[in-house]
Amino acid sequence: MAGDQKPPPRRGEPTSTAWTALGYLLAGMAVWGFAGWLVDRWLGTGGIAIGIGIVLGSAGGIFLVMKRFGA
Amino acid sequence: VIEQLSILAKDDLPFPPKVEDFFLPAIYPWGEANAPWVTKFTVLIWLAVAILIVLFLVAYRKPKLVPTRGQWLAESFYGFTRNNIGKDIIGPEGVRFAPYLTALFAFILLTNLFGIIPGIQISPMSHIAFPAFLALISYAIYNYQGIKRHGLLKYLKLQTMPPAPKVLYPLLVPIEFFSNLIIRPFTLALRLFANMFAGHIILLVFTLSGFALLASDNFFIKAMSPFAWVMAVVLTLFEVMVAALQAYVFVLLTAVYVQTSLAEDH
């Protein structure tokens, strides 16, 4: 809202920050792991695509956590 | 000792506890043996709703400047939720959501505490249906508030655009979308359900294993049973903490989700 000073509410709430961060990590692995699984079924890579997907997803999740909550 | 154990096993104690222990029979006048419509859980939900309605109505019927005990209880509960959850997380607007947050907090706390009140000793929240529906209500509220504030398209944009260079959008937008709009109600419901379910199982394990040990013919195995019961008492106290903490976390996260829905910059 206009004129509102942005309060730092999430810094004061370690509990909710922790859960939100966990949500990003899980979501990252779930989304890209699933995409990897689909690619794996399509191309028959024997699990390699799933691995790549999960690694990419967790990298993305960690990146988002750093951007949102990092210093 | 092996023989002793086999004697334990053939005993007809309901040990070890099973998932079936959570499916209680129907209450008689309303149905057949396993009709699911009116069970202990149904009655407990009605009871919780009735207790809370009566508590808050009586507390506020004739408010006094110097509060009575009931009024003090209701006022401090509402005040805590309004100031320490509503205002702290959502900001000045949080007052608007204080009634919902307070009702949610009181309802979850009371039903969680049913899990350790003697004679009741099971929480309706140990069935996924109840946390799932509460999570659904919270999900509907924060999405509705966000869409009302920003309009559908802008809301979706706020919820899915990550604070990152555009090159990374293909990687990050699906994560943001999944995390913010899909995974939230599931984690909200699962966290509460899993905690109450596990808590009940743990209490069953220690209480029933006390009886199972006592049923042994071996004196030394018999002598172990008090330790199982001591553990049951200790873990009951622990469950008080879990009940309060999980109710608090559920309400806290609901408030955080409302806040992120309303915020301009996510």
Percent of chain B with pLDDT over 90: 55
Nearest-10 Cα torsion for B32, B36, B38, B39? 100
* Cα A34 from Cα A22, distance rounded (Å): 18
Cβ separation B179–A56 shorter than 8 A: no
- For position A10, what pLDDT does the model report? 46
| Confidence check: pLDDT of B31 > 80 | no
**What does the pLDDT look like over B214-228, one tens digit per residue?**
888 888 888 888 999
pLDDT, tens digit, 9 for 90 and up, residues B96-122: 999 999 999 999 999 999 999 988 889
Question: Which class for B140: exposed (0-12), middle (13-18), buried (19 or more C-beta within 10 A)?
Answer: exposed
Is residue B130 a contact partner of residue B89, using CB atoms and an 8 Å limit?
A: no
Smallest CA–CA distance, residue B178 to chain A, in Å, is 6
pLDDT tens track for B150-183: 999 999 999 888 888 888 888 899 999 998 899 8
Look up residue B85 and give its two tokens: 């959850």
Q: Is the pTM of this model over 0.90?
A: no
- Asked if residue B174 lies in contact with residue A31, where contact means CB atoms within 8 angstroms, the answer is yes
Smallest Cβ–Cβ distance between B253 and the set A16, A24, A35 belongs to A16
Integer Cα distance of B45 and B48 in angstroms: 5
What does the alpha-carbon distance between residue B104 and residue A45 come to, in Å, rounded to a whole number? 48
Determine what percent of chain A falls in helix, strand and coil, rounding each to the nearest 5.
Answer: 75, 0, 25
What is the crossing angle of helices B152-160 and B129-150, to 10°? 110
Tell me whether B145 touches chain A (CB under 8 Å).
Answer: no
Chain A contact for B173 (CB, 8 A cutoff): no
Chain A residues with at least one Cβ partner in B under 8 Å = 1, 4, 6-7, 9-10, 12-13, 15-16, 19-20, 22-24, 26-28, 30-32, 35, 56-57, 59-61, 63-64, 67-68
Closest Cα in chain B to A60? B172
Q: Select from B206, B260, B189, B209 the least CA-distant residue to B13.
A: B209
